[in-house]
Amino acid sequence: MNYDGIEEKISNRSKPHRVLGIDPGYDRVGVAVIEKRKNESGRMKEYLIFSQCITTDRKNDLTTRIFTVGQELEKIIELFAPTHMAIENVYFQKNQKTIIGVSEAKGVCKYIGMRNELSIHEFTPLQIKVAITGQGNAEKSQVAWMIPRLITLDMDDMAQRSGGTSSGLDDELDAIAVALTALAHGV
């Protein structure tokens, strides 16, 4: 009998199925780790393990801010050991300076994901809206409204951690939506 590769299959079986969702940026980066496992009744269910909005210091230059994003992302990957990364595709924005910075931050996120041997999956805003609400033309508020109906969240805790600002909370919810989209796509 040939046992080549069997150890890898066994070790992979014991790893939890975790997706790191990322809403990319250089000012704020939404991150969420969602695990899919059986619940008490034996059905597969998604559980939010961690979510946060990484905020960089606006006084720093772009390179330093992107470096900060990379450092924080590496800590999160080390701590929560996701197996996949799901990241939102950057879409057209009017401000070219912003789109370039966000694209650079997204590239760093993908590099760190690959360096940590995560499979990388990208999703467009349309794919995310369809996965979360069933409608590609859904408003951002409709996506935010659906998320707590799809996965258990402590909204008060999230709001408190975001400093009471809707921006940080929005980025965190977007990251959760990206991770849920990946799971809906069979990741």
Per residue in 13-30, pLDDT tens?
457 899 999 999 999 999
Catalytic residue among 27, 35, 88, 172: 88
Catalytic residue among 23, 27, 35, 46: 23
Phi/psi for 154 (5° steps) reads -105, 90
Cβ atoms 33, 18 nearer than 8 A: yes
Indicate if 88 belongs to the active site.
Answer: yes
Which pLDDT band holds residue 153 (cuts at 50, 70, 90)? confident
**pTM score of the predicted model:** 0.86
Secondary structure string (H, E, C) spanning 44-88: EEEEEEEEEEEECCCCCCHHHHHHHHHHHHHHHHHHHCCCEEEEE
Catalytic residue among 27, 46, 170, 171: 171
Mean pLDDT of 35-64: 93
**17-184 is classed CATH 3.30.1360.120:** no
